[in-house]
Structures are given as C-alpha cells and as structure tokens.
Amino acid sequence: MENVNLVMKGYKPETAFKDGIVLQSADMHAAGDIRFFLLAQLKRLVNGVNATRTFKNDEDYHDCIEDILEVFPSLKVEEVLICFKYIRQGKYDLYGTLCTGSIIKSLHAYEEKYTIPFREEKHAAYEPYLNGMIDWQQLGEALTVDQPSKLSLEEWLKRK
C-alpha cells in the first residue's frame, strides 16, 4: 500500500498476476486497510477522469468497493490498480459515466484480456493429473492373484 505509485508505474499485468496480493486474502487479513486503500484509489480515479456522471456521495464509493470485493475476490490488488490506471488512460470506454457498473465492466474486460489467459497458462503448466492416466486393465492384471490349485495331500507330496 505504501508503494502504490511504484506499482502503478512499474507493474505490468503479468507482474501483478504473479506477485500480487489476492483481494480476498487482503480482505481477510486487513479488511479495514484494504477497503480504505481501494477507496482512496477510487477517489483518485474519479478525480483523474473527466466523467460527467459519477459517484454522488461516500455511500456510492463504499458500495463500489464492496461490489469489487464481492465480484472479483480472486483478482489481485495490483490488478485492480492497473485497471484503474487503464481507465484513467482511456483504454476502457466510460461514455461519460464513471459509476460502479462501468468500473465492474472495466474490471471484467481487464480480467478477460489479462487474468484469465494468465490463469489458463498457469494451469496448463501443471503436470497432468496422474490418476487420469492410469492403465486400469494393466493394474487389474497385476493385482490378479493366481488361485492355488486344490491338490489333494497325495498329489502335493508327489510334486515335491
């Protein structure tokens, strides 16, 4: 939280995905801090964007933060900051309105473009699920035990 300007300048979407703090975890460990931090960044975004229709009061800001935490629990804090930066830079169309809905749409667009491909790439890098590749027939044959033949005592003694 102290290095927000460094994050906003130096982080790329991939860096934020790899090194970021998950919103849900941040909310569990420092709920008040993360909400206050996001609120400050949201107000900074509103000041940086020339939207004709925007938040009217503090309750609107708080609702937006709660919605972000509810809708995007697996996004990283840094990813939200980068999305806010992209909104400020005009990479997402606001059509003159900066409200909870437009921010949620922008976060969805960010997630589709960056986060989901990074998650899929990370998932594909994991080794295949080993149980899915078991040759059940071979395993069954290895587990089959030959039944001892039922020999009479006399037949058994003859063999020895």
Residue 13 lies in a domain: yes
Q: What angle do CA 59, 65, 68 make, to 5 degrees?
A: 140
Residue 27 lies in a domain: yes
- Total domains in the fold of the chain: 1
Q: Which of 8, 25, 138, 136 is nearest to 84 (CA)?
A: 8
Does residue 113 contact residue 73 with C-beta atoms inside 8 Å? Answer: no
Type and span of the H or E element at 58: helix 58-71
pTM above 0.85, yes or no: no
Residue 112 lies in a domain: yes
Residue 45 lies in a domain: yes
- Residue corresponding to tokens 């589709």: 112
Q: Which of 70, 75, 60 is nearest to 107 (CA)?
A: 75
Residue 31 lies in a domain: yes
Flag residues of the chain having pLDDT under 70: 1-3, 5-8, 126-133, 146, 148-149, 160
Residue 137 lies in a domain: no
Q: What angle do CA 119, 121, 122 make, to 5 degrees?
A: 65
Residue 140 lies in a domain: no
The tens digit of pLDDT for each residue in 92-122 reads 988 888 999 999 999 999 999 999 999 988 8
